[in-house]
Amino acid sequence: MAKRSITSLSSTDLSGKSVLVRVDFNVPLDDNGAISDDTRIRAALPTIRDLLGKGAKVILAAHFGRPKGQVVDGLRLTPVADRLGQLLGQPVTKTDRCIGPEAAAQAAALQPGQVLLLENVRFFEEEEKNDPAFAQQLASLAQVYVNDAFGAAHRAHASTAGVTTHLSPCVSGLLMEKELQYLQGAVEQPQRPLAAIVGGSKVSSKIGVLASLMEKCDKVLIGGGMIFTFYKARGLAVGKSLVEDDKLELARELEATARTRGVELLLPTDVVVADRFAADAASRTVSVNAIPEGWMGLDIGPDSVAAFKKALAECRTVVWNGPMGVFEFDAFAMGTNSIAMLLAERSSVGATTIIGGGDSVAAVEKAGVASKMSHISTGGGASLELLEGKVLPGVAALDDMV
Ligand code: ADP
Ligand code: MG
């Protein structure tokens, strides 16, 4: 069921109203405590500007790091408030605690068009426990709720779920709306053929997504460390490559499902093997039938890239989750980079390309083609769960589209 978004709210609905907006401001800091990448703050600007433009009083709630229910001075949102103020071109005040009489007074003093940032919600252990009394206190600061924190939507916390019982309407922000439109749209009503490329290290971490995509896709292309479990299941020698011996049966089942459902399941035909797991390891490209004993596969080979390219040629929608190899080492980044380039190319001829997963997104950014993709997800865990077909609590808690 599609969720109601902020675009359905007009100035009449919002003017003078206090709006609690859950945002994802979990930005990385450098050694001096300065923000080293403000992408997440920038990503929230359209929603904040939309609300301010409609005359709302904006109260932002966010988590930062893992303070585990304690006040940790290094995890205060002060640098975020400053940066947000610079980006918005107006001052952003911050509370010292996210709930309590002072926060309530600051929220009450807010004027239409002003922004207040609440202190790190995870300074209270009640946040992650979705404690009803805490949620109620947080919600008491506002009337309307907007969730724009896609990256936190797979958690049922007080600020992502609990508050929605007390606020109305509860809608998605622009960033959340885009995430749902692409990630849910891709698997529910895709332009076909629909292909999924799944990689990463282990089969076990991608079982859900593989099984779910197998139900929906026309083609499933597999790379990364998990391919060796499939080869071993087929009876091939895999040397010292990553293998999950307790998942061999599962690999056979997935191959059988693909056959019965008529899904084209593509595994690489050649791999780049290394004599050890290191950036400067000796390496060579071999057929998957000839992985030498004692060597480990760390990337897919050029023949496989060519086969993947052919398979993707007529696809209208491509979803990618998980790198094709150990892309952190330049010597084993060719497969991942080639797929990134390939998807950029598909995008340029009108295909919808969607990248989900923290490392896949990092790889696409490293390859310099992020701006070419239709959608780059801001939520690693959340995007995986959505592709798995799971219901995200932070999404489920929002109002349904009317
Ligand atoms: P994502 O974050 O995009 O969902 P994952 O976290 O599942 O991706 O997997 C990323 C990791 O998989 C990377 O750190 C990469 O080095 C590793 N990986 C990819 N291919 C292999 C391989 N052949 N052997 C070992 N690790 C691999
Ligand atoms: Mg990862």
**Average pLDDT in the 195-221 region?**
92
Q: pLDDT tens for residues 244-271?
A: 999 999 999 999 999 999 999 999 999 9
Spatial neighbors of 136 by CB under 8 A, at least 6 apart, are 162, 166
Least confident of 9-23, 307-321, 379-393: 379-393
Whether the Cβ atoms of residue 280 and residue 330 lie closer than 8 Å to each other: no
pLDDT on residue 187: 84
> Which residues are within 5 Å of ligand 2 (an ion), measured at CB?
358-359
Spatial neighbors of 336 by CB under 8 A, at least 6 apart, are 199, 299, 323, 324, 325, 327, 363, 367
**Average pLDDT in the 368-374 region?**
96
Token look-up 């008491």 returns: 140
For residue 205 and ligand 1, the question of a CB distance below 6 A is answered with: yes
Q: Give the closest residue to 60 by CA, choosing from 70, 48, 78, 74.
A: 48
- Measured by CA distance, the residue closest to atom 16 of ligand 1 is 326
Q: Give the closest residue to 102 by CA, choosing from 113, 93, 114, 115.
A: 93
**Average pLDDT in the 24-43 region?**
92
Residue 233, pLDDT above cutoff 90: yes
Domains in the chain: ranges and CATH:
6-177 (3.40.50.1260), 190-387 (3.40.50.1260)
β-strand partners of 26: none
pLDDT on residue 280: 98
pLDDT on residue 17: 98
22 labeled binding residue: no
Residue 43, pLDDT above cutoff 90: yes
Residue 297, pLDDT above cutoff 80: yes
Residue 320, pLDDT above cutoff 80: yes
**Average pLDDT in the 308-337 region?**
97
Decide: helix, strand or coil at residue 287. Answer: strand
For residue 380 and ligand 1, the question of a CB distance below 6 A is answered with: yes
Instruction: Please tell me which residue, 208 or 52, carries the higher pLDDT value.
Output: 52
pLDDT on residue 368: 95
Instruction: Please tell me which residue, 356 or 173, carries the higher pLDDT value.
Output: 173
Residue 1, pLDDT above cutoff 80: no
Residue 327's pLDDT band (boundaries 50, 70, 90)? very high
Token look-up 């049922």 returns: 156
pLDDT on residue 387: 87
Closest ligand 1 atom number to CA of residue 361: 3
pTM above 0.85, yes or no: yes
Q: From CA 55, how far away is CA 49, in angstroms rounded?
A: 10
145 CA distance to ligand 2 middle (Å): 30
Strand segments (E) across 307-394: 317-321, 352-356, 375-376
Residue 402, pLDDT above cutoff 90: no
Q: From CA 58, how far away is CA 18, in angstroms rounded?
A: 6
**Average pLDDT in the 44-61 region?**
98
- Measured by CA distance, the residue closest to atom 8 of ligand 1 is 322
What whole-number percentage of the chain has pLDDT above 90? Answer: 91
Q: From CA 236, how far away is CA 145, in angstroms rounded?
A: 54
Q: pLDDT tens for residues 114-127?
A: 999 999 999 999 99
**Average pLDDT in the 281-291 region?**
98
Residue 379, pLDDT above cutoff 90: no
